[in-house]
């Protein structure tokens, strides 16, 4: 492939990948499978590796996260990013309407939008290409966070039209991502984020963009700073035009004819906000016509043509009756506040997270204290602060125990971790929580095995570990409370059906540290069977795409434990499938020179691109990896092969040049 052909292929691939991103992350209507998307992305990366001079700022490859920065550069906003004035009740909204009508001396219509609780950012496009992303900062000067914003897949790197404009919006972390990230942080002994807004802001202000890339952030665009040649007459037209360009706008906005309609819209979202999968802290109301906005103008701090209705603060005062300890499946011991029941954000709250001992000490929280609680980001109840003046002197200071509250093993604090852990592999609490994870939807997906049923099974000593689950019989289950014949029969059918799951479901269910659903699927496809995976050492594991050293070390350590070997053997005896059932890589013809071989490609070839050579090897049953190791069977080397060639020589790996590669294909 010459440079002209490479340029043409890259343009086609980039256009396709931009479209797939838009369909998946903005429309939520993907038109291709993850496999097809990943295949085209690999093709793109291969060609760009071959022709690095053809990499452009709008290439989908630029989303993955560049090298860490030393500092953020300052960015001056040509049009200031002003904050909005606030309204807190119906009368203040009506006062805003009165001022708007007086200021224009005309009928005024409004656009209402959800006020996303995230980080305000601006995106600048030149001729349709994203060239800069910045924080709001003080409104006049922000920070250049382009490399981090590129990692948000709902931000188009190229618009559907060569427009030059600066748009504004709110970057945020969805609730699901927030909960998952905090769960992971707590398992690692790290301090969890207080709310999704802090998590989003902290992610985008990371100097290492690879961290931002892992945080699953999203964005809604809601406004314009500058737009060359814009023809929109109203804010509602502008929102429609932004959507046509491929920019993600919030679908819940509404055009309102009167202030009464505005108030009705506001009141409806006070009730409906918990149903959203992202956080909002109010409603933004804007005068719709742009000429009326211009007539109303600005104060020194905010526009006169917009206001933000802020939802009432969701806090409550209650009594902290006790502090309960729980042990998670990774052994982390977490304190939880037991409260006198109180209403917060429309629900009754009786428990609140205290995260760890350091937080309890920092806030001086004692048993018996009167405390203020809130839902962090309206999701997780937490203790905000103690009301010291309500203390009677009978409150009891709290300290974490030395021994596990479940199995009485000595607790440890691992290096660089805040949390205390129980490291006893036979701790009942860890086994119980591990089983809850094992039967969950993304793991073995055994319907009917909820937390209460699992707790009963442990209490009655019918199960002690995962393998016991497959030894349960009908008579035993019928003895349990609230387990009738139909429930028992359905449960046994679900347990039996789970034996046929593909390997990736089992791998995720085992709860190996750092192995999520995607890594489990990658490992299952790569190794094919549980036995092959168990035999792999760290060096072999890190050759698998997306499996880093930390995860590889965790996997190797897990399968090196004698009790894990016993567990896998017991599961095999129960008839659990131990093989990958998904789409496998091409096994290739029987006489293929690459069948079953691990191949590394290096250097430049005259007649093949790296991508073409890789596809040929894979189609003929070979596996292409990126680094040379003792597990490498063959190195195919072009010109300027470099360090991989030297390492292959040292390890005695077979080496072919391009001519030998071509001859093998001819034969």
Taking each helix axis from N to C end, the angle separating 428-438 and 451-459, rounded to the nearest 10 degrees, works out to 140
Whole-angstrom distance, CA of residue 272 vs CA of residue 267: 9
Taking each helix axis from N to C end, the angle separating 34-50 and 3-21, rounded to the nearest 10 degrees, works out to 150
- Looking at domain 315-397, its CATH class is mainly beta
Residues 503-573: name the CATH superfamily: 5' to 3' exonuclease, C-terminal subdomain (1.10.150.20)
End-to-end CA distance of the chain: 23
How is the chain split into domains, by residue range?
A: 3-63, 85-310, 315-397, 428-498, 503-573, 598-666
pLDDT (0 to 100) of residue 523: 92
Spatial contact of 199 and 161, defined as CB atoms under 8 Å apart: no
Whole-angstrom distance, CA of residue 239 vs CA of residue 251: 10
Active site residue ranges: 115
User: Topology of domain 3-63, per CATH?
Assistant: Helix Hairpins (1.10.287)
pLDDT (0 to 100) of residue 369: 95
Spatial contact of 277 and 174, defined as CB atoms under 8 Å apart: yes
Query: Across the chain, which distance is largest between two alpha carbons, in Å?
Result: 90
Q: What is the pTM of this model?
A: 0.57
Return the SS3 of 496: helix
Q: What digits encode the pLDDT tens for the residues 532-546?
A: 999 999 989 988 867
DSSP 8-state code for residue 395: -
User: Topology of domain 598-666, per CATH?
Assistant: Rossmann fold (3.40.50)
Spatial contact of 6 and 54, defined as CB atoms under 8 Å apart: yes
pLDDT (0 to 100) of residue 632: 87
CATH numeric code, 85-310: 3.30.470.30
pLDDT (0 to 100) of residue 586: 54
Whole-angstrom distance, CA of residue 548 vs CA of residue 357: 31
Q: What digits encode the pLDDT tens for the residues 140-151?
A: 899 999 999 999
Q: What are the phi and psi torsion angles at 345 (to 5°)?
A: 50, 40
| Of residues 361, 367, 352, the one with CA closest to residue 321 | 367
Q: What digits encode the pLDDT tens for the residues 524-578?
A: 988 999 999 999 999 899 888 678 888 999 999 999 988 899 999 999 999 999 9
Whole-angstrom distance, CA of residue 545 vs CA of residue 535: 18
Residue 631: its H or E element? none
Q: What digits encode the pLDDT tens for the residues 4-26?
A: 999 999 999 998 998 888 887 77
- Looking at domain 428-498, its CATH class is mainly alpha
Whole-angstrom distance, CA of residue 261 vs CA of residue 71: 47
pLDDT along the chain (667 residues), means of 10: 90 90 78 79 87 86 64 89 90 95 93 95 95 91 92 93 95 91 77 82 86 91 95 96 95 96 93 85 96 90 92 84 91 92 78 87 94 72 89 93 92 80 85 91 89 88 90 89 88 94 94 87 90 93 82 91 91 95 66 86 83 81 79 87 83 90 84
Beta strand extents in 585-658 (DSSP E only): 598-602, 623-625, 634-637, 654-656
pLDDT (0 to 100) of residue 67: 57
Cβ neighbors of 170 (< 8 A, separation 6 or more) are 116, 117, 118, 119, 120, 121, 219, 220, 222
pLDDT (0 to 100) of residue 345: 65
Tell me the two tokens of residue 357.
């001992």
Cβ neighbors of 48 (< 8 A, separation 6 or more) are 10, 54, 55, 59, 61
Does this chain's domain 428-498 share its CATH topology with 503-573?
A: yes
Tell me the two tokens of residue 531.
């036995």
431 exposure class (CB count in 10 Å sphere: 0-12, 13-18, 19+):
buried
């Amino acid at each position: 492939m010459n440079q002209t052909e490479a340029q043409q292929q890259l343009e086609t691939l980039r256009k396709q990948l931009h479209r797939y991103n838009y369909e998946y992350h903005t429309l939520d209507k993907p038109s291709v499978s993850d496999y097809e998307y990943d295949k085209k992305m690999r093709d793109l990366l291969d060609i760009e590796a071959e022709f690095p001079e053809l990499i452009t700022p709008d290439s989908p490859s630029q989303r993955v996260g560049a090298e860490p920065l030393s500092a953020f550069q300052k960015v001056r906003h040509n049009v200031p990013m002003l904050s909005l004035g606030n309204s807190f009740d119906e009368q203040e909204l009506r006062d805003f309407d009165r001022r708007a009508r007086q200021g224009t001396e005309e009928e005024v219509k409004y656009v209402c939008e959800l006020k996303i609780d995230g980080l305000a950012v601006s995106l600048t496009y030149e001729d349709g290409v994203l060239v800069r992303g910045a924080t709001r900062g003080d409104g006049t000067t922000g920070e250049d966070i382009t490399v981090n914003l590129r990692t948000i897949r709902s931000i188009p790197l190229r618009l559907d039209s060569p427009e030059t404009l600066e748009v504004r919006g709110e970057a945020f972390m969805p609730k699901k991502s927030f909960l998952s990230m905090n769960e992971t942080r707590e398992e690692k002994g790290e301090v969890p984020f207080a709310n999704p807004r802090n998590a989003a802001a902290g992610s985008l202000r990371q100097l290492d963009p690879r961290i931002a890339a892992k945080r699953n952030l999203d964005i809604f665009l809601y406004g314009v700073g500058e737009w060359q040649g814009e023809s929109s007459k109203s804010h509602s037209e502008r929102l429609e035009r932004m959507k046509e360009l491929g920019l993600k706008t919030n679908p819940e906005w509404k055009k309102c004819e009167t202030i009464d309609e505005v108030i009705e819209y506001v009141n409806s979202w006070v009730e409906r906000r918990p149903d959203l999968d992202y956080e909002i802290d109010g409603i933004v109301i804007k005068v719709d016509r742009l000429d009326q906005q211009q007539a109303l103008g600005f104060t020194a701090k905010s526009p006169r043509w917009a206001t933000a209705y802020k939802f009432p603060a969701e806090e409550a005062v209650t009594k902290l009756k006790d502090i309960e300890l729980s042990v998670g499946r990774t052994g982390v011991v977490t304190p939880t506040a037991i409260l006198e029941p109180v209403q917060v954000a429309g629900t009754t709250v009786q428990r609140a997270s205290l995260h760890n001992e350091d937080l309890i000490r920092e806030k001086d929280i004692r048993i018996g204290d009167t405390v203020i609680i809130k839902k962090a980001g309206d999701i997780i109840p937490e203790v905000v602060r103690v009301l010291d003046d309500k203390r009677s002197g009978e409150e009891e200071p709290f300290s974490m125990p030395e021994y596990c509250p479940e199995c009485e093993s000595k607790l440890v604090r691992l290096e660089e971790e805040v949390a205390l852990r129980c490291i006893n592999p036979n701790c009942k609490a860890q086994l119980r929580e591990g089983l809850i994870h094992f039967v969950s939807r993304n793991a073995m997906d055994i319907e009917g095995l909820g937390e209460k049923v699992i707790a009963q099974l442990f209490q009655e000593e019918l199960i002690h570990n995962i393998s016991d689950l497959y030894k349960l019989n009908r008579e035993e289950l019928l003895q349990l409370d609230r387990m009738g014949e139909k429930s028992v029969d359905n449960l046994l059918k679900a347990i039996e059906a789970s034996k046929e799951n593909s390997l990736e479901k089992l791998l995720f269910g085992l709860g190996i540290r750092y192995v999520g659903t995607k890594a489990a699927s990658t490992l299952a496809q790569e190794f094919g069977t549980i036995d092959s995976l168990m035999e792999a050492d760290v060096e072999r594991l890190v050759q698998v795409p997306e499996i880093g050293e930390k995860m590889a070390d965790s996997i190797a350590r897990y399968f090196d434990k004698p009790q894990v070997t016993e567990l896998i053997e017991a599961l095999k005896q129960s008839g659990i499938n131990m093989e990958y059932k998904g789409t496998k890589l091409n096994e290739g013809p029987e006489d293929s020179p690459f069948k079953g071989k691990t191949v590394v490609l290096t250097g430049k070839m005259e007649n093949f691109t790296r991508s073409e050579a890789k596809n040929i090897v894979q189609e003929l049953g070979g596996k292409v990896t990126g680094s040379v190791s003792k597990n490498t069977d063959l190195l195919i080397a072009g010109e300027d092969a470099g360090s991989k060639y030297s390492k292959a020589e040292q390890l005695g790996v077979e080496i072919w040049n391009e001519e030998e590669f071509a001859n093998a294909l001819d034969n």
